[in-house]
Amino acid sequence: MKSYLAAAIQMTSLPDLHHNLTQAEELIDLAVRRGAELISLPENFSFLGNEEAKVRQAVEIATESEKFLKRMAQRYQIVILGGGFPVPAQNGKFYNTALLVSRDGQEIARYEKVHLFDVDLPDGNIYYESQMIVAGSKAAPVYKSPDYGNLGLSVCYDVRFPELYRAMAEAGANVLFVPAAFTAFTGKDHWQVLVQARAIENTCYVIAPAQTGQHNSRRQSHGHAIIVDPWGVVLADAGTEPGMAIASIEPRRLEQVRRQMPCLKHRVF
């Protein structure tokens, strides 16, 4: 593992596939110009807003999203994570899928979100992801990259389930992805503290790209894409506008924290 710059992209995706992919490419280009080698896009990067339209276009969204990620990886010679897009499953439903792609445009890890966001929030918004999404049945993968560390994949609501991340840490993860579209209501209280907790308890870097702003008349995201170090220090925060959090991932810092706070070795249960 080497030292490198990682970017957590922040977007305001709309129910418009081609608009979103154009926005994503502009931000990827900017991140590369700033020196980023590992770039991550948020959940629903390619489509967000109108669920009925998403269902109608799901096959196109899945196809174009995957093509886009592979094209960006090859064009810019980066490793890229597409944080979540619908991939057809069965019975007219879909998997919420995160895809990690290598510099040569090859899929190197795929994760189907296992925890589905079915909640009634106090602000009056109701979210039932399971109405159109099938929960994944496989453990979150850890891709072991000689250059970028052992990369663990998750998606958004997963961040509330620490056992998922502990399993990845046990599998060797030292960099965790949490691409998200956190609601404005929950994000203001829970987003940063949850991401920091996952970093601290597993002594891992956490790279958390995010959605921000208004996606339609009812859907609003919190923003604040962040990168957190293994001690829980927020290295970069994208605020509330489209853009990115960009920071250096340092193997020496990882080794230092794990040496000084070897909690993973001290586990009893």
Q: State pLDDT tens for residues 22-49.
A: 999 999 999 999 999 999 999 999 999 8
Which CATH code is given to the segment(s) 4-265?
Answer: 3.60.110.10
pLDDT at residue 126 tops 90: no
pLDDT at residue 124 tops 80: no
Does the active-site annotation cover 43? yes
Token pair listed for 83 = 């944080």
Q: 12, 44, 7, 15: which is closest to 157 by C-alpha?
A: 44
What does the pLDDT average to over 89-106?
94
Residue 83 dihedral angles phi and psi, to the nearest 5°: -70, -15
pLDDT at 166: 97
| 139, 200, 220, 81: CA torsion to nearest 10 | -50
3-state secondary structure string across 25-50: HHHHHHHHHCCCCEEEECCCCCCCCC
Could you tell me which residues come within 8 angstroms of residue 231 by beta carbon, excluding any fewer than 6 positions away?
199, 200, 257, 261
Residues 43/179, Cβ–Cβ less than 8 Å: yes
- Which among 37, 64, 70, 156 is annotated as catalytic? 156
What does the pLDDT average to over 134-149?
96
Token pair listed for 151 = 């990369």
pLDDT at 92: 85
Does the active-site annotation cover 112? no
- Which among 43, 64, 66, 129 is annotated as catalytic? 43
pLDDT at residue 125 tops 80: no
Q: What 8-state DSSP symbol labels residue 139? A: P
pLDDT at 3: 98
pLDDT at 244: 98
pLDDT at 48: 93
Strand 220-222 to 38-41 pairing? unpaired
45-59, 205-219, 234-248: least confident range:
45-59
Q: What percent of the chain has pLDDT over 70?
A: 100
What does the pLDDT average to over 75-101?
94
Token pair listed for 128 = 């039932």
- Which among 54, 66, 113, 204 is annotated as catalytic? 113
pLDDT at 118: 87
In whole angstroms, give the CA distance from residue 19 to residue 22. 5
Where does the chain have alpha helices with state H? 17-33, 51-56, 58-76, 162-170, 184-202, 251-260
What does the pLDDT average to over 254-268?
95
Q: What is the pTM of this model?
A: 0.96
Does the active-site annotation cover 263? no
Q: Compute the mean pLDDT over every residue in the chain, rounded to the nearest whole number.
A: 95
Token pair listed for 169 = 């840490």
pLDDT at 30: 98
Q: State pLDDT tens for residues 151-177.
A: 999 999 999 999 999 999 999 999 999
Of 217 and 165, the structure prediction assigns the larger pLDDT to: 165
pLDDT at residue 219 tops 80: yes
